Amino acid sequence: MPELPEVEQFRSLLAPLISNEHVLTLERHSLEKAPPRKFLSDEDIADIHLSKLVVSEVLRKGKLICMVLSSKNAPRKKKKYLLVHMGMTGRISNASRIPKLMELAETTEYPPPHTYLKFIAGPYDACFSDPRKFGSVLLKDSMDDDFDVLAPDAWTEIVTKTKPGEMLVDPTTIAKLSEQKLGIKALLLDQNRAVSGVGNYLADEILYQLEMHPDQKYLTSQQAETVLRKLFDILNVAIDCYAKEEDFPKEWLFHYRWGKGKKEGPKDCHGRTITFLTSGGRTSAIVPSIQKLKAQKTTSMNSGTQVITKNPTTSTTSKTKTEVESTTKIRVPQRPIARKRKAGGSSSTNPSDEQHKKGSRRSPRLAS
């Protein structure tokens, strides 16, 4: 699945369509095949053409691209928005560049196979292709509903460069990754929680380079900040590599993670064994010799008690003070069984005898 670096590359390939002069034209391709389920209707395309819209901006947040369309003749008129999502195998290409994807065979044909839409603005064009058809291209009157639900963009909204060599990490995002019961990979993959744009290979790369287990819970604020700084660094390198059409650095796990199921298990650049497990609902590549799950402590905000997460190889589970109390059995002492008086037994009329009998079951009560 294309992740933030790939989608940023796609955004850059759509950017030449921005123009105040050239009206946007859309062409349907592969008409003999059904397009992706979430796709422009013929009425949508006709509406764009009749409105004589130009592309005024091409935005991206996380893995979602938004083409902002304005009226050429009435710039202040209400805008429309083309929202483009790549799904599993979607990509944007143009005549000079067809991006490579691990999931797709390399091709020099343009438009590439499985192209369903072509964008044209004057001398520039680009196309959307999607072999597995999980992507989408939709026309909307607002982008807010789609953009606002996403967490801050992992590349543009989390880290701010204050001075040369100095970076400020957003404290709100740090808090969203700290002291959490969920494993760190699950938190990174949730596009609506802390950051948007991180997918499976990016999350694995971050944690591999930090030597952190994907199921690590209860990160400290310092650990969370370290994760975000590493994420920002990796995104910078990946986006720069795509811009220069270069491969990722050879020491990255990315190059060695694709050997699952082979007879000889994959190894990283240092010869260390790579294994696979499920974390955050996704298959995760890790190097067990350096990515170990560690015990972490946190402070519960509700009860002020410490919770300890044990290594999953042990049988101990973490419980709060309230949980422990709710499962603890309290022994209540049994009341003594009253003895029945035998029938026909003698009864004493002496008050002192009665007083002695009253205390005889526990300890004798002394008469005054």
Q: Is the dihedral of CA 294, 295, 296, 300 positive or negative?
A: positive
Rounded distance, CA 310 to CA 308, Å?
6
In a domain, 196, yes or no: yes
The confidence score (pLDDT) of residue 342 equals 52
The confidence score (pLDDT) of residue 101 equals 82
Rounded distance, CA 254 to CA 262, Å?
17
In a domain, 192, yes or no: yes
Nearest to 7 by CA among 67, 66, 83, 64: 64
Nearest to 119 by CA among 26, 22, 40, 49: 26
Same domain, 197 and 228: yes
Same domain, 206 and 93: no
Nearest to 104 by CA among 95, 91, 118, 115: 91
Same domain, 132 and 239: no
Determine the 3-state secondary structure of 303 from DSSP: coil
Same domain, 165 and 105: no
Same domain, 45 and 65: yes
Residue 177's φ and ψ, nearest 5 degrees, are -100, -5
Number of domains in the chain: 2
Same domain, 105 and 168: no
Rounded distance, CA 213 to CA 221, Å?
17
Last residue of a domain, one of 109, 126, 147: 147
The confidence score (pLDDT) of residue 329 equals 45
Greatest Cα pair distance, the chain, in angstroms, is 122
CB atoms within 10 A of CB 285: 25
Look-up: residue for tokens 């609506």?
A: 192
Q: pLDDT tens per residue, the chain (368 residues)? A: 899 999 999 999 999 999 999 999 999 998 888 999 999 999 999 999 999 999 999 999 999 999 999 998 877 788 999 999 999 999 999 999 999 887 777 888 999 999 999 999 999 999 999 999 999 999 999 999 999 999 999 999 999 988 888 999 999 999 999 999 999 999 999 999 999 999 999 999 999 999 999 999 999 999 999 999 999 999 999 999 999 999 999 999 999 998 776 778 899 999 999 999 999 999 999 999 999 999 987 765 543 334 444 444 433 334 444 443 444 444 545 665 555 555 554 444 454 454 444 444 444 444 43
pTM of the model: 0.80
Which residues 6+ apart lie within 8 Å of 147 measured at CB?
59, 61, 64, 66
What are the tokens at 77? 């008129």
Cα-to-chain-centroid distance, residue 298: 22
In a domain, 308, yes or no: no
What are the tokens at 122? 């004057």
Rounded distance, CA 271 to CA 280, Å?
26
Last residue of a domain, one of 266, 286, 306: 286
The confidence score (pLDDT) of residue 328 equals 40
The confidence score (pLDDT) of residue 67 equals 98
Last residue of a domain, one of 147, 172, 206: 147
Domain with 63, as residue range(s), is 4-147
Pairing of strands 166-169, 124-129: unpaired
